[in-house]
Amino acid sequence: MTAASDSARAEGPSVVTAGDPSGPKVIVLDPAGAGKHDGLPATWRPLAERRGVFWCRVPAGGALGEADDLLGDHGPGDPEIAVVAGGSSAATALQFIERHPGAATFLLLVDPDSDSAAPAGRDDVVTKVREAGTDVQVLSADAEDPLPLGHPDVVAAVRAALGDV
Question: Which tens digit of pLDDT belongs to each residue from 80-116?
Answer: 999 999 998 999 999 999 999 999 999 999 998 764 4
- 105: closest CA among 83, 84, 89? 83
- Contact between 54 and 26 (Cβ < 8 Å): yes
Q: Are strands 81-86 and 15-18 parallel, antiparallel or unpaired?
A: unpaired
pLDDT at 41: 92
Residue 44 has pLDDT above 90, yes or no: yes
The CATH number of the domain where 14 resides is what?
A: 3.40.50
Q: Is 137 in contact with 74 (CB distance < 8 Å)?
A: no
Domain hosting residue 76, numbered range: 3-162
Query: Which candidate, 120, 127, 70, 118, places its Cα nearest to that of 98?
Result: 127
pLDDT score at 4:
41
The percent of residues in the chain predicted with pLDDT above 90, rounded, is 68
Name the residue among 7, 6, 29, 160 with its Cα closest to residue 96: 29
Q: How many independent structural domains does the chain possess?
A: 1
CB of 110 within 8 A of CB of 154?
yes
- Please give the helix or strand (H or E) that residue 127 lies within, else none: helix 119-131
For 22, counting Cβ atoms within 10 Å of its Cβ (0-12 exposed, 13-18 middle, 19+ buried), the class is exposed
Asked whether the predicted pLDDT for residue 6 surpasses 80, the reply is: no
Q: What is the pTM of this model?
A: 0.88
Mean pLDDT of the chain: 87
